[in-house]
Structure 1
Amino acid sequence: MSADLPKPFRDALDDRARQALAHWGVAEQKPDLLKYRENAVFRVRLADGRPAALRLHRAGYHAEAALRSELQWMAALADGGLAVPQPIASRNGQLLVPLPPRQAFAAQHADVIDWVDGEPLGESGKPLAQSPERLVEIFSALGAAMAAMHNLADRWTPPEGFWRATWDEEGLLGDRPLWGRFWDCEGLSAVQASALSTLRLELSQCLAALPAPARDFGLIHADLVRENVLVDHKAGDMRVKFIDFDDAGYGYRLFDLATALLKNRREPAYDTIEAALISGYRTGRDFSDAAHSALPLFLVLRSLTYIGWFAARPELPGAGERVLRYADETLALAAELGLR
């Protein structure tokens, strides 16, 4: 998406990044924009030459307490042995720096986190390049790492003031879902809006009837899509790493598993991918067949989130077309999985 930004806005974004980098004493560089979604993420260099990632947080999307809590949880996961980014303090010791309004930007916060080596598992919309054998290795490791993350979250006591959003029934299907009102957003056809409204009610009933093993709930990443899973092959050892905790919060653990699987549904090796992910997860955490049976519900719930997300961001290239496409894809997925 970053390559499609209008040049005047891109130039202003680079200037905003240098304004933030002044707090780390490294403003005299051209930051390399990697992603523009919830955050604008840049690859930068610290004073000692190390690579790092600068994040300009979307104005008004997360409160300061939520941003600090994200950094606290990432630190706790790293302390527990999980490969995740760590925050780097500014010159005067701040992990989170406030930026005042300027030009095209409202007041927002910035932080710098250390660089995590590895290649993204894949790219949305493009077939996975790995062989089936390698996919088994990667998704088994991904499942095991997800189990370790959930275990660490359960053992961790958040500090006072910790706050992250909650992906429960209200956050997913309530009157004001965290990622937007997918059933009545601008651009939907009358047929799509009606079908999504009906599906919303059906999914609420399904959530209410979840078997106990599927109700495992706690801190989750919430966005382990291909781009946020890095695969690192150093010294012949393969390790998966997690980045982009911007949407991390409290939710069903099945939501994390469904997020890692959804964009792979059309892969020829999907059955192998799902089996490897679940097998890897079970090496570190209990996951019964009863819990597994609820996975289709969470695949549809995750698919719904993309509709409202893009509808709330019309400035992104192709947002309107994506709203329509995700609506059709979600309704088709629900029908395929027997949920409508």
Structure 2
Amino acid sequence: MAETYNDRFIKAMQHGVEALLHEWELPASSGVSLLNISENATFVARDPAGERSIIARVHRPGYHTRQEIESELSWIDSLCKAGIVSTAAPLPLNSGGRIAEFSYNGESRLVVGFEFLPGSEPAPQNDLKSDFYALGAITARLHDHSQRWRVPAGFVRKTWDFDSMLGNRPLWGDWREALGLDDQGRRLLEETARHLEKELSAYGKEGHRFGLVHADLRLANLLVDGKTLSVIDFDDCGFSWFMYDFAAAISFIEEDPQIPELQDSWVAGYRSIKKLSTADEAAIPTFIMLRRLLLTAWIASHAETETAQALGPAYTRGTIRLATRYLDTHHHC
């Protein structure tokens, strides 16, 4: 996978997007620049007059099928139509449909264009309580919609449960490959994983606890513009526990001292829209630990990304600290 992230590859992806600009009625002279790379490569394209910008998401092959991407877009359509959340609408292509493609090294690359939304990512060093209250309310509306929405025929998205996260066929790699993990740490995380599996099995997957979720509401996927909080990037949306959405919201900042306050704000925001039982609230720490182990695996399997390189073995050490605390708190359960 390492060659996937070098300059030559990024340039090739950029040229692929440039060749498709006419599909979104942008002139060929529009500037295309890389926004970020994680699972996919995301570019911003700006017309020379500065009047219009779009976001182009180039999917990595072998992850989402065309049908899975169509399913993501159909949920976004429904959310936009119902006014559930402020999000970037997918853009139609001049040639019909909404998924464009180009070929690179004999492989097809699927591309989706989205409208460009104003705003900036909330910064972790700021007081995020009001943002998390707003996010809690938005998440409750998403969950309410997902529970009422009749999923269309042919709708396919991945399931994020224990098996697909930490089990034998993990979607994001094996946490045992974590950077800098020693035998002692491995044993502790093994015990943590066993405990998570037991807790999640007892918690269950009934319809009021498990359904279609965004699954990646982290700060990088939020945009604050004045009083508006927008949610972007539904690329990981799939079937999981509703409370997992809070755990995803604190991705990479799990050890921040303000997390307990942010959780309280999120829960209060959620309850301003939708009922949340004490049992569901009590399960949140289990989902935080689950997400943290999943991200530890992601960093190991995406070692060439900027995120993984910035976090490195220190993130694994943090995972061990969190796991120690989690087991100390939850082993009596």
TM-score by length of 2: 0.88
Distance 2:39 2:302 in 1: 10
Q: Deviations over 1:49-87 (max 9, x none)?
A: 422111111111111111111111111111121111111
Distance 2:103 2:148 in 1: 38
With over 3 angstroms needed to count, the CA separation of the structure-2 counterparts of 1:200 and 1:323, relative to structure 1, is farther
Which residue does 2:29 correspond to in 1? 28
Distance 1:139 1:25 in 2: 37
Distance 1:214 1:330 in 2: 30
Distance 2:137 2:307 in 1: 36
Which residue does 1:50 correspond to in 2? 52
With over 3 angstroms needed to count, the CA separation of the structure-2 counterparts of 1:11 and 1:42, relative to structure 1, is same
Are residue 19 (structure 1) and residue 26 (structure 2) matched?
no
Distance 1:240 1:141 in 2: 7
Are residue 158 (structure 1) and residue 147 (structure 2) matched?
no
1:6 shift after superposition: 4.5
1:304 shift after superposition: 0.8
Q: Which amino acid aligns with 2:46?
A: R
- Contact 1:57–1:110, Cα closer than 8 Å, also in 2: yes
Distance 1:318 1:50 in 2: 29
With over 3 angstroms needed to count, the CA separation of the structure-2 counterparts of 1:99 and 1:53, relative to structure 1, is same
1:128 shift after superposition: 2.1
Q: Deviations over 1:213-263 (max 9, x none)?
A: 996111111111111111121xxxx12110011101010011001221354
Question: Structure 1: 5+ residue runs without aligned partners?
Answer: none
1:137 shift after superposition: 2.3
Q: Deviations over 1:105-157 (max 9, x none)?
A: 732100101112221122xxxx4224xxxx33222111101101111111111
With over 3 angstroms needed to count, the CA separation of the structure-2 counterparts of 1:242 and 1:181, relative to structure 1, is same
Q: Which amino acid aligns with 1:13?
A: M
Q: Which amino acid aligns with 1:164?
A: R
Distance 1:212 1:88 in 2: 34
Q: Secondary structure at the match of 1:111?
A: strand
| Aligned equivalent of 2:196, options 203, 206, 209 | 203
With over 3 angstroms needed to count, the CA separation of the structure-2 counterparts of 1:309 and 1:141, relative to structure 1, is same
- Contact 1:141–1:239, Cα closer than 8 Å, also in 2: no
Q: Which amino acid aligns with 1:28?
A: S
Q: Deviations over 1:24-59 (max 9, x none)?
A: 353332212111111211111369942211111111
- Contact 2:180–2:316, Cα closer than 8 Å, also in 1: no
Which residue does 1:261 correspond to in 2? 250
Q: CA RMSD in A?
A: 2.5
| Aligned equivalent of 2:182, options 176, 189, 194 | 189
Distance 1:140 1:230 in 2: 14
Are residue 128 (structure 1) and residue 125 (structure 2) matched?
yes
With over 3 angstroms needed to count, the CA separation of the structure-2 counterparts of 1:174 and 1:324, relative to structure 1, is same
Distance 1:166 1:34 in 2: 27
1:317 shift after superposition: 4.1
Q: Which amino acid aligns with 1:206?
A: E
Aligned pairs (5 A) from 1:202-221: 202-210=195-203, 216-221=209-214
Q: Which amino acid aligns with 1:116?
A: L
| Aligned equivalent of 2:308, options 304, 309, 319 | 319
Q: Which amino acid aligns with 2:125?
A: L
1:16 shift after superposition: 2.3
1:272 shift after superposition: 2.5
Aligned pairs (5 A) from 1:164-313: 164-184=157-177, 188-210=181-203, 216-233=209-226, 238-313=227-302
Q: Secondary structure at the match of 2:94?
A: coil
- Contact 2:164–2:171, Cα closer than 8 Å, also in 1: yes
Q: Secondary structure at the match of 2:44?
A: strand
With over 3 angstroms needed to count, the CA separation of the structure-2 counterparts of 1:111 and 1:147, relative to structure 1, is same
- Contact 1:307–1:323, Cα closer than 8 Å, also in 2: no
Q: Secondary structure at the match of 1:218?
A: strand
1:293 shift after superposition: 1.0
Distance 2:153 2:146 in 1: 16
- Contact 1:31–1:42, Cα closer than 8 Å, also in 2: yes
TM-score by length of 1: 0.86
Distance 1:333 1:187 in 2: 16
Q: More displaced, 329-338 or 42-51?
A: 42-51
Q: Secondary structure at the match of 1:202?
A: helix
